[in-house]
Structure 1
Amino acid sequence: VTYFAPEARAALDGLGYRGFWMGYFAARSAPLGMVPREVVAAVFYNFAPARVAKALPAAWEIAGPEAALRARRDSAVAALRRYGVVADESVAVAAELAGRAAREAPLDGRPLFAANLALPWPEDPLAALWHATTLLREQRGDGHVAVLAAAGISGRESNVLHAAAGRVQRDYIARTRDYDEAAWRRYEQRLAERGLLNDDGSLTAAGRQLKDHIESSTDALGLSALGALSDDEVETLFQALTPITRVVIAGGDIPAKTPMSLHRNDLDDGSAHVASS
């Protein structure tokens, strides 16, 4: 919602940020404060440092982190209301359970999660739900970065590996993450020299094994965020969130596929439960 709803773009444009990417880097990094752009590039991991440098610190000369934080929260709530999400019992249950999980989730080595956790908790039920799920998303994201780094896969290599695994279109990730043909080939060559890619850019057996390890380890670390909840509470959380997610997807703002590997059809079978999480 934060990245794709028109309310978000309008709110950030309204602050004076120039273009999608300036708004994106300002809003997502705002919990960290006015840190150097090198810090943002390191924490976000897979973006070209030059792309970050086009947005920061110039964004803070237009509107500071506090304004960006208000814009992203208020626009997310406005979008949820437009989709038809109402502050009913399911929202209250989801916000309470996700919030409890987020407050107790491990923050070791998770800078973006920790920065968001330090923010004041919203009182509005929809804002509280959005905040809690944002925390869980960033907690998982930080864990994914840790797994990639431990596997010796740089941020720029991770996008190439991800495309080779078929989770995102090469042209799409190259365009949105700033690779020209020479750069893409250079990272492919680096991965090939490690025995992870074939000459045609597809995964070798070793590459598939590594990619599967990265994803399963990310899942395992992500599940640690739910450690404060019982299995029954996790099931209840998924059951509360799934119909809300369907309403959001039905709103049409979320693309069919995204660079984060969020696919609209991932919920089509309605199989969200503890065993498959």
Structure 2
Amino acid sequence: MPRTALTARRLHDRAEPVHAVTYFAPESRAALDGLGYRGFWSGYFAARSAPLGPVPADVVTAAFYNFTAERVAKALPAAWDVASPSEALAARESSAAAVLRRCGVGDEEAATVADLVRRAVASADTDGRVLYGANRALPWPSDPQARLWHATTLLREHRGDGHVAVLTAEGLSGRECNVLHAAAGGVPAEMIKRARDYDDDQWALHQEALRGRGLLDGDGVLTGEGRKFKRHIEDRTDTIALSVLAGLDDSDVEALFQALTPITRKVVAAGDVPAGTPMGLSRDDLDDGSARLD
């Protein structure tokens, strides 16, 4: 069976929780608080944008896509008066590694995944992928769990940059994409409104824009055209995300799935990453470690 969009989707469901410990685990929050950041968002924007260096807030707003410029500007560039990008990078890497060790991820299994991903990204170009490119330019850590976390971060940002490209090409703003995602059932509307700063009037404004395109009905529910459009967005994102695996043969891809899936199970079982997040991850087939390529 050829590699399909489902291959990329299932890889995302396995890699993203490993990366996401940096947003949810207490060790990660404590590490950023220890640098002097106050509040979740200050540390979030500093740590995630740190691979870019101390760029203007407008650059981060553009790269992150679905946050308001006002939210980003509350954190940046003030974050760099608290700690440097290199200090933020070190804190996020070491704390994520500590979380993965606490989750029971061993050195050998971590190294297996990291080595496979390192081979994959060596030939996965950075064309149009700013956050992926910035993270790929960082040195690979020596600590096995830190290498694993860096590997899943590369997979995550490679896919994320591609997703933004697809949304932009379809004329969907960063603010509209959150509303569409909620309407599709990917995340509860109240959760995304809190996480991405919408009041009721703003939410209604973006609903109206989507309604004008025939994607939502009068109740804010996806129309038939809206369901087709959302499926197209996700399928196209998955399809172009497959390029990150082009440097691996099928046996390598199978080995990656077989090594990564048990790690993801451990991370999920630890409970740091909640089942419901703005990322809309699936945990339905984590009992199946196969890449399903044959």
Is the CA contact 1:231–1:274 (under 8 Å) kept in the aligned structure 2?
no
Q: Is the 8 A contact 2:31 2:92 kept in 1?
A: yes
* Partner Cα distance (1:229, 1:3) in 2: 29
Provide the TM-score with structure 1 as the length reference. Answer: 0.96
Residue 80 in structure 1 maps to residue 100 in structure 2: yes
Residue 92 of structure 1: how far off its partner (Å): 2.2
SS in structure 1 at match of 2:107 = coil
- Among residues 142, 151, 157, which one is paired with 2:176 in the alignment? 157
Give deviations 1:119-144, integer Å, cap 9, x for gaps.
Answer: 11111111111111111110000000
User: Aligned equivalents of 1:34 and 1:161: distance in 2?
Assistant: 32
| Correspondence 1:221 to 2:240 | yes
Percent identity between matched residues is: 62
5+ residue gaps, structure 2: 1-20
Give the 3 Å change call, closer, same or farther, for CA 268–240 of structure 1 in structure 2. Answer: closer
Q: Which amino acid aligns with 2:288?
A: G
Counterpart for residue 184 of structure 1: 203
Which of the numbers 253, 267, 273 marks the counterpart of 2:291? 273
Deviation above 3 Å: which 4+ runs of structure 1? Answer: 266-269
Q: Distance in 2 between matches of 1:199 and 1:125?
A: 52
Shift of 1:262: 2.1
Q: Do the aligned partners of residues 33 and 274 (structure 1) sit closer, same or farther apart at CA in structure 2, a change above 3 Å counting?
A: farther
Partner residue of 2:23? 3
Q: Is the 8 A contact 1:87 1:125 kept in 2?
A: yes
Counterparts of 2:207 and 2:269 in 1: how far apart (Å)?
A: 37
Distance (Å, rounded) in 1 between the aligned partners of 2:287 and 2:212? 40
Residue 31 of structure 1 is matched in structure 2 by 51
- RMSD, aligned α-carbons: 1.3
| Of 153-162 and 79-88, the range deviating more from structure 2 | 79-88
- TM (norm. structure 2) is 0.91
1:95 Cα deviation from its structure 2 partner: 1.2
Q: Secondary structure at the match of 1:247?
A: helix
Q: Which residue of 1 aligns with 2:6?
A: none
Contact 2:262/2:289 (CA < 8 Å) preserved in 1?
Answer: no
Question: Unmatched 5+ residue regions in structure 1?
Answer: none
Instruction: Give the stretch that moved more between structures: 95-104 or 1-10.
Output: 95-104
Structure 2 distance, partners of 1:237, 1:5, is: 24
State the partner residue of 1:247: 266
Cα-to-partner distance string for 1:236-258 (whole Å, 9 max, x where unaligned): 10110000110111111010111
The separation in 1 between residues aligned to 2:252 and 2:292, in whole angstroms, is 10
